Chains A and B, each alone.
Chain A
C-alpha cells in the first residue's frame, strides 16, 4: 500500500466518493468564484483541506516540469502583461503582470493538487458511475477516451501541420490547404477511434451491459456537501 493509501485510510471511512467529489469541485469552484484579491485567502483555506485529505498530492507542484511551467508563466506575465512600471535588478517589469502570473500559478497549483488528489483517492470507474446517474449514459467512458486521446491528437496535428508546411501547402490556395489539414487531422483521429472501439469490444465492453457502480458514502459526506455549498454561496453573496 502506498504512503497516500496509508495516510488516507482513516479519512476514507469518514469521507466517501461523494465527499471527495464535492471537495474536488469545491476546490475548483472556490478559485473560479473568488475575486483576484481573495485568491490568497481562498488558497489558504483550500490548503488546510488539502493537507487533511490529500497530503501526498501536495508534492506534485514541486516536480521539475511544473516548477519550470510556473516560472515560465510568471516570466511571460511580468514582461508582456500590463505596464512595465517596476525595476527588478535593472530590468523593467510589470507589477500587474507579476500579480496576474502569481494568481495563475496559485490557480494552477490548486487544480493540479485537486486533480491528483481526487484521481489518487477515487477510482475513475466510480466517477463514470456518478455521471451515469445523471442520465448521461456513457459520458464517463467518452471522457476517458477523450482524455487519453489528447496526446495523440496533439502529435498527429503537429505531424499533419509540419508535413503540410514542408510541402508548401500554405503558399498558394491557403484555404484549401487548411481544409485539407482539418480533413487529415479528423481522419487520423477517426482511424485511431476505430482501434479504441476494437479494443473496447474485444474486452466485451458494452454500454448496455455496463452496470451502475455503487458509490461509497462516508459518514461526513453530507456535512461536507452542506459546508461546501454554503461556503460557495456565501462567497458569491459577499464578493
Chain B
C-alpha cells in the first residue's frame, strides 16, 4: 500500500468521518441502548469507507480508512473499546476483500461489500465474546436468540426463522449502506465538479 499525499489526506478525511461517527453517534446509540446499534454504526461506517474508496480507487484504501477509524476509537472515553475496535478493522477488511476482488467500483460491488461487512456483526459476538473472552458459544447463541426475538418479535422457539431473519436483516442493511454509498459518492463527485464514475 503506497499512496500519494493527496490520497493519504483523503483517506485521513474519511477515516476521521468514520471515527467521528463512532465517537459521537456511537456513544449516543449505546447510551440510549438502541437495539442493533452495532449494525447501524457498521452500516454508516462502511458507507463512509466505501465513498472514500470512490475517491481513492486503489486496493487497501477501505482497510486504511478502517484502521484510522479504529485508532480514533481508542480515544473513546467510556466503556470497553477493544472489541468494537477489532470489529471495525475486520469489517473494513471484509469490505476491502470484496471491493478488491471485484476490482472496478460499481453499484453491485458496493452493495455486496456493504452486505458482507455488516454481516460480520452477526459473527462478531461469537468470535470475540464466545471464543476469545470465554463467555462460551452457547451463552452468546442464547443471548443472540433472545435479543433477536425482542427486536423482531419472532418466537425464540422458531430458531431457524429467527436466525435467517437476523442474517437477512443485516444483509439488507449492509446492501442499503452500499447503495447509499454509491449514490452519495457520485453526488459528491458531481458537486465537486469531478468527472462521474
Residues in A lying within 8 Å of B, measured CB to CB: 28-29, 32-33, 69, 73, 76, 80, 104, 107-108, 111, 115, 135-139, 141-147, 149-150, 153-154, 157, 179, 182-183, 185-187, 189-193, 196-197, 200-201, 205-208
For residue B51, which residues in chain A have a CB less than 8 angstroms away from its CB? 186
- Would you call A207 and B17 a contact (CB within 8 A)? no
User: CA of A68 to CA of B175 in the docked complex: distance in angstroms?
Assistant: 42
Known: A28-B74, A190-B13, A193-B6. 5 other contacts (CB 8 A): A104-B78, A111-B77, A145-B13, A150-B72, A179-B184
Contact call A183/B3, Cβ cutoff below 8 A? no
Whether, in the assembled complex, B151 has its beta carbon less than 8 Å from a beta carbon of chain A, the answer is no
A-B CB contact pairs (8 Å), 24 listed: A28-B74, A29-B82, A32-B80, A104-B78, A108-B78, A136-B67, A137-B1, A138-B1, A142-B11, A144-B12, A150-B16, A150-B19, A150-B20, A183-B187, A183-B188, A185-B17, A186-B51, A187-B192, A189-B16, A190-B55, A196-B9, A201-B5, A206-B5, A207-B3
Residues of B within 8 A of A107 (CB): 77-79
A-side binding surface: helix, strand, loop or mixed? helix
Chain B min CB distance to A131 (Å) = 9
Task: Enumerate chain B residues within 8 angstroms of A135, measured Cβ to Cβ.
Answer: 1
Answer yes or no: B116 CB below 8 A from chain A CBs. no
Interface residues on B, range: 35 or more
- 9 closest pairs, A vs B, by CB? A145-B12, A146-B16, A142-B12, A32-B82, A104-B78, A138-B8, A108-B77, A149-B16, A146-B12
Interface presence of B178 (CB below 8 A): no
Chain B interface (Cβ < 8 Å from any Cβ of A): 1-6, 8-13, 15-17, 19-20, 24, 31, 48, 51, 55, 64, 67-68, 71-72, 74-75, 77-82, 180, 183-184, 187-188, 191-192
